[in-house]
Structure 1
Amino acid sequence: MTARFVLDLPPAPAAPVGPDGEPLAGRFCGRTAAIDWRALAPRLARPAWWRFFHHKRWQYVGIATADCFIGCAIVDLGWTNTAFAYLFDRRSGAVVGGLSREGLPGLTATVGDVPAVGAGSRFRWLGERVAFEETAPDRFTVRIHGPDGFAVEAEFDGRAAAPWLFASGPVEDGLWHATHKSPALAVQGRALAGGREYRLDGGHASLDHSNGLLPRDTRWRWASAHADGIGFNLQAGYFGDYENALWLDGRLIALGTAEFDYDPAATLAPWRVRTADGLLDLAFTPEGERREDRNLLVAASRYVQPVGTFAGQVRGAADAAPREVAGLLGVVEHHHSRW
């Protein structure tokens, strides 16, 4: 972290489990160096077989530009793995390129325990692949090669970015969870989809790396958007308030309980997202969405991720003047997994 940033949150610990095996709960600035849930104290320990079926790790990347939004994720469930990627064209309001694949346990996917140089995330299935890597401190690449000519080659630069959020805490009916959320990262690169080339230079990327021991049935609502000098991450569901945060002019600010007002049966209708502390109140106008329902007998997933713009107000503190927000490109999400 650079000295010019005001640190409203304490610095991230070296690890979310202390030498005594007790986990640390809270929101922090920066990134932790290691996550090893096997180090939990005996009173919290679960059998190795339980950890195998409940340990979930994923790397998500979002890229927002004037022309498109790109989302991709690699998910390691231990007993299986999966990956998806898509490009949403803002002019047509449709997904024009994508891939979605189930993998083979231990063979097709790797997700690092933390985002770090040398701890990338990769998925490969025959000729299709998704690869994310931190090539040098705060410099990243993502490469996607999918069907029908869909491809993404992009680099992200976070050397001048605001601090990351690291959050760690308990989850209902699971055990413990930790997540890293990045601020806006500068993007360079290009994408190919639907027979068209998209230049990504000048866009903004955001990264979500999560690692936890989660319940078999997990539900959440999520919202995220980032641009120069502003960004936010909101979640309502299994992880409580731990990952709710606002980035504003280089500051990382903890937010209160997230509230999502929307119609699950009409996800392309307007949404409203706000926080109970009054620091964020935004309307979301969808431009289109990606949705996918999977049923693998032993597992299932119901997922919808509308893409659109946020408008409204945010505040850096309860007594601060409101900051107007307009046209901030991002996503909302309704997700239910049985995994």
Structure 2
Amino acid sequence: MITADSVVENGSRHFGRFARTPREANPADEFRGVRRLFEDWRTKEWAGFTLGHPELFSSMIVQDAKYLASSEMYVFDRATGSLSQWAGSMSPRRLTLPADILRSRVRFADEKKGHRIGYDFADERIVITIEIAAQAEGPAVTGRLELDPSRASAPLVVSSRLPGGGRMYTNKIVFPASGSLRVGGREYAFDPARDFAILDEHKSHLPYRTRWVWGTFALPHDGGFLGANFAHRPHTPGEEEESAIWTPTGVEPLSDITFTPQGEDRLSPWRIRSADGRLDVTFSPQGRKDVNVNFVVAALRYFQMYGTYTGTVNGIDIGTVGGVCEDFAARL
């Protein structure tokens, strides 16, 4: 496990698994001059959260593709089956995703659409603020969620080489969540003994043609969290993968993940397993969010499904727990 406080030290990048989230995660620091400008342009950055709550499925993201900054959020009410979605965009010059995210502020604001999301990270508390005006696919949404770093899971932090000269950095943590989220006239109260938010931070130079399948879930267990983050993508032999299991005492690496749809319907269940059997779950979608964007030389096609997981993690029956599963393909 790497214990360095920076992803890049003295012009050399660390590759492998980190014991903690580094204070400096700017992959472009590996380079100088024109090469640094190019690497910074090719590095796609985002910070988002998947929310865990018994009455909804919800995710939000703020992302900097360098030619465009954007934000998306959705909330699916599990009782009514209603899906609300919101999206905004802004100049990338106005968005900064910091190198030390856990001690920084992130602000996204599309004033034309009234789409504002903020993340305030500090050692003692993380605050998510949401203020989005009604849009075509969703009513107004407001919220303030407070996350407790003192009771968070172990961080899942990986820096690795990708085929075709790409490089990936990701930082994922599960936090207990309190506060509330109001969608139209419906308010959801968050209980930190039950509810949580999973941080997903990326700073990655992805290959021009990029493809992955990914999923995640978590649940409170034995004073901490039990859960998993798992992915299948083109892989460089010998490099660490981002797949892992969260336990109340740490984070355990996983590898060789298979995703097997159990039918041809767009909402068919998926069987997901690790080669060693420590992850063996079935994901049953309740809905999905599709994104299709084509800029000719750049394109994005993905769908994120939200639903429930059943099965076992490290031989422990997880019952029925909410989570997401995503199929992503792009030319970036």
- TM bucket (normalised to shorter chain) is 0.7 to 0.9
Compute the displacement of 1:263 (Å). 6.6
Match of 2:326 in 1: 333
Which one-letter code corresponds to 2:166 in the other structure? L
State the match for 1:234 in structure 2.
Answer: 230
Q: Distance in 1 between matches of 2:72 and 2:158?
A: 25
Corresponding residue of 2:58: 70
Q: Structure 2 matches for 1:23-38, cutoff 5 A? A: 23-38=13-28
Could you tell me whether the CA contact under 8 Å between 1:12 and 1:31 is conserved in 2? no
Among candidates 189, 196, 199, match of residue 199 of structure 1: 189
Aligned in 2, Cα 1:49/1:158: closer, same or farther, shift over 3 Å?
Answer: closer
* Cα distance change, pair 83–235 in 1 and its aligned pair in 2 (3 A): same
How many angstroms does 1:213 deviate by? 1.7
Q: Does 1:222 align with 2:214?
A: yes
Q: Secondary structure at the match of 2:8?
A: coil
2:108 to 123, 145, 156: 123
Tell me by how many angstroms 1:141 deviates: 1.3
The percentage of aligned residue pairs carrying the same residue is: 26
Counterpart residue identity of residue 108, structure 2: F
Check whether the contact 2:27–2:203 (CA below 8 A) recurs between aligned residues.
Answer: no
Structure 1 residues 293, 222: CA separation in 2 closer, same or farther (over 3 Å shift)?
same
CA–CA distance in structure 2, aligned partners of residues 263 and 327 of structure 1:
18
- 1:98 corresponding residue in structure 2: 85
The one-letter amino acid paired with 2:74 is: Y
How many pairs are equivalent? Answer: 316
Paired with 1:307 and 1:115, the residues of 2 have a C-alpha distance of 26
1:137 equivalent to 2:123? Answer yes
For structure 1, the 5+ residue unaligned runs are 1-9, 316-321
- Could you say which residue in structure 1 is the equivalent of 2:256? 257
Unaligned runs of 5+ in 2: 135-139
Structure 2 residue 220 is the aligned partner of structure 1 residue 211: no
For the 8 Å contact 2:47–2:199, the answer to whether it is kept is yes
- Look up the match of 1:189: 179
Contact 1:114 1:209 in 2 (8 A): no
Shift of 1:49: 4.6
Which amino acid letter does the alignment assign opposite residue 101 of structure 1? G
Deviations 1:132-180 (A, max 9, x none): 121x215211112223212222111120223111100101224322110
Q: Under a length normalisation based on structure 1, what TM-score does the superposition of the two structures give?
A: 0.86
* Contact in 1 for aligned 2:180/2:187 (Cα 8 Å): yes
After TM superposition, the score normalised by the length of structure 2 is: 0.88
Once the two structures are overlaid, the 10-residue window that deviates more, 191-200 or 300-309, is 191-200
Amino acid at match of 1:249: P
**Does structure 2 conserve the Cα–Cα contact (< 8 Å) formed by 1:244 and 1:256?**
yes
* Deviation by residue 1:275-321 (Cα, 9 ceiling, x = unmatched): 11221110111122222212234432112111111111121xxxxxx
Matched residue, 1:39:
29
In structure 2, the residue matched to 1:304 is 303
Residue 223 of structure 1: how far off its partner (Å): 0.6
* Distance 1:203-1:51 versus aligned 2 partners, 3 A rule: same
Deviations 1:211-252 (A, max 9, x none): 122222221111100111301101111566521110123221
8 Å Cα contact 1:166/1:181 also seen in 2: yes
